[in-house]
Structure 1
Amino acid sequence: MPENNKFKCEKCEREFSSKEALEMHNNSKHYGATKGLKKLDSVNKKKIRNWAIFIVVILVIVGVAYFMAFRPETPGRYDDFAKCLTNNNVTMYGAWWCPHCKDQKELFGKSWQYVNYVECSTPDGNAQLPVCEKAGIEGYPTWELGNGSRIDRVLTLKYLSGLTDCTLP
């Protein structure tokens, strides 16, 4: 038993009148300082480590997603060619549901965004939009060249290049 019935904290040297008061002090002020808390402390270290690993994994996932979403766009292979077609008033008329139009778009890849394109189908796919009716479009895809001539089929990029002054890379 300590002197004068006093219990002294080993960490801060504060004195207490009972062992229970000292334990409460140690639990609140010096967490893990008592022998009984060492087992609990190791459990908490495992939890902290697991949470730290979880947070690091989440940060890595968020970082990769951010990098993928906001990385600089690399130009498409046919960007200049597609821009040249548009500058020379070459237009493709098509429909969202048309498999041949999809094939034509895939030939351009990322560069398709620069092609002058007119959507002819209604959203439900059951009718033609007025802009295409007025233009007399009867099949898809229809390419209209700068001189007003039209070709109703998928065209290779080489063929389009031959019809225009636009050169392929």
Structure 2
Amino acid sequence: MELTKREKRRLRLEKMRQQSHEAQDEYSQKLEQQKQIQESGQKSKSKYYIIASVLAVIILAGLSYSIYSLNKPSTYDAFAKCLNQKGAVMYGAMDWCKYTQAQKAMFGNSFKYINYHEFSELAGIKKTPTWVINGAWYENVQSFEKLAALTGCKL
């Protein structure tokens, strides 16, 4: 059974319409995919900005606290300044002596007010740290109470 020209033309047109609809459907799907990609990209960008903002706030807060901590007077500032005014001198070996480092750690940030020298600057020092107060030598780590009693400084 042969198809007439008219039927053949109708079949061709129908086939072209189907192909056209398929092409339109493919195009619509691609557009939808692109929209989804753009939306997900925008979502990820906004997430990135939120995370970056939170990190920036945390870093700024940490820096602010660090600066505040460094600038606020330490607990023993007045005591360390008094020891210095009374002529107390600490000799030690900061690089390798754990006891000298422990004495320094007791003062914390206030140690900057202590009159500190390396033990090699004074002949005769056998133990570190050694405190020289009013001409007397006191070897080893000294408690704040003992330093206060020897100098008359208040804690």
- Name the CA shift for 1:144/1:62 in 2 (closer, same or farther; >3 Å): same
**RMSD, matched Cα:** 2.1
Q: Which runs of 5+ in 2 are unaligned?
A: 1-30
- Find the residue that maps to 1:140 and give its secondary structure: coil
Alpha-carbon distance in structure 2 between the residues aligned to 1:106 and 1:161: 17
- Name the CA shift for 1:150/1:56 in 2 (closer, same or farther; >3 Å): same
- Find the residue that maps to 1:71 and give its secondary structure: helix
Query: Could you tell me which of 61, 65, 70 is aligned with 1:64?
Result: 61
TM-score (norm. length: structure 2): 0.67
1:138 maps to 2:135:
no
Q: Could you list the per-position Cα deviations for residues 67-97 of structure 1 after superposition, in whole angstroms to 9, with x for gaps in the alignment?
A: 1332253222221111011011100101122
Query: Could you tell me which of 118, 122, 135 is aligned with 1:148?
Result: 135
Number of residue equivalences:
122
Specify the alignment match of 1:80 in structure 2. 78
Compare CA radii of gyration and give the structure with the larger one: 2
Alpha-carbon distance in structure 2 between the residues aligned to 1:109 and 1:154: 15
- Name the CA shift for 1:40/1:106 in 2 (closer, same or farther; >3 Å): closer
Alpha-carbon distance in structure 1 between the residues aligned to 2:146 and 2:110: 17
Alpha-carbon distance in structure 1 between the residues aligned to 2:153 and 2:67: 32
Percent same amino acid at aligned positions?
A: 34
Q: Which runs of 5+ in 1 are unaligned?
A: 1-34, 121-128
Aligned residue type for 1:91:
V
- In the TM superposition, what is the alpha-carbon distance from 1:50 to its structure 2 partner? 2.2
- In the TM superposition, what is the alpha-carbon distance from 1:54 to its structure 2 partner? 2.8
Structure with the larger helix share:
2
- In the TM superposition, what is the alpha-carbon distance from 1:113 to its structure 2 partner? 1.9
